[in-house]
Amino acid sequence: MVVSEKTSKSTRIQRARREEILQAALEEFSQHGFRGASINKIAKRAEMSTPRLLYHFKDKEALYRELLKSTLLLWLGPLQMLSDTDEPIEEICAYICRKLEMSRKFPRQSRLFAGEIILGVPLGQAEVFEPLRATFESKIDLLQSWMKSGRIAPVDPHHLIYSIWATTQHYADFEAQIADLSPQKMPGLYTQAEGFLLPMYRKYLAVE
């Protein structure tokens, strides 16, 4: 089984340049989407010529794919940390906090991810998203076990996760709208969001 072909062969120069490129690519792709972004502008942002960029990534899609892969891993982190405990409600609240933290710290990654799902670039039926599916299903099981043992209220676990994703990512993805409508400036907003969301889920999931 070939795991990653020739990772060992990657030079430090390769690693350095690829990092610079990915940085610039994140900026462009998250602002304009896959089709709207141009490798020329990405190259310019990374302070190099287009052929030089294409020396390190064989084409636009390969670049996007890799960026998306690492973004998915980042995105998935908080969910993977969700594990069995004797205080499941607090565990879920901690997950919500991690997701909010994610939106606050990495809004561009969040938007890249959102853009990909909304616009749906055809990536050969995206095996990129496979890890998500596996993790998701295992956490669904975990939630169901908590419900069966009566430690959290019995609600649909799928929609529970969807709603957490929706409410937390919303602050990064729709930042433009929220910034326009909120009296509060952006940083303090996340504290407010926490103050709103945690009690909501606590009440909903409380056993009694």
Partner DNA sequence: AATTTTTTTGATCACGTGGTCAGTTATTGT
Partner DNA sequence: ACAATAACTGACCACGTGATCAAAAAAATT
Least distance to a second copy, CB of residue 151, Å: 18
Eight-state DSSP code of residue 86: S
Which of 45, 54, 69, 101 touches DNA (CB under 7 A)? 54
Largest CA distance in the chain: 63
| DSSP line for 147-203 | HHTTSS----HHHHHHHHHHHHHHHHHTHHHHHHH-SS-HHHHHHHHHHHHHHHHHH
- Of 38 and 192, CB closest to DNA: 38
Which of 55, 165, 196, 204 touches DNA (CB under 7 A)? 55
Q: Is 118 in the site for a second copy (CB under 8 A)?
A: yes
Residue 17 interface partner, choices a second copy, DNA, none, CB cut-off 5-8 Å depending on type? DNA
Would you say 142 and 81 are in contact if contact means Cβ atoms under 8 Å apart?
Answer: no
Q: Is 23 in the site for DNA (CB under 7 A)?
A: no
Would you say 177 and 75 are in contact if contact means Cβ atoms under 8 Å apart?
Answer: no
Q: Is 160 in the site for a second copy (CB under 8 A)?
A: yes
Would you say 114 and 173 are in contact if contact means Cβ atoms under 8 Å apart?
Answer: yes
Query: Could you give the CA distance from residue 87 to residue 168 in angstroms, rounded to a whole number?
Result: 21
Which residues in this chain contact DNA in the complex, by CB under 7 A?
Answer: 9, 11-14, 17, 37-41, 48-52, 54-56, 58-61
Which residues in this chain contact a second copy in the complex, by CB under 8 A?
Answer: 31-36, 111, 114-115, 117-120, 129, 132-133, 136, 155-156, 158-160, 162-163, 165-167, 169-171, 173-174, 176-178, 180-184, 192-193, 195-197, 199-200, 203-204
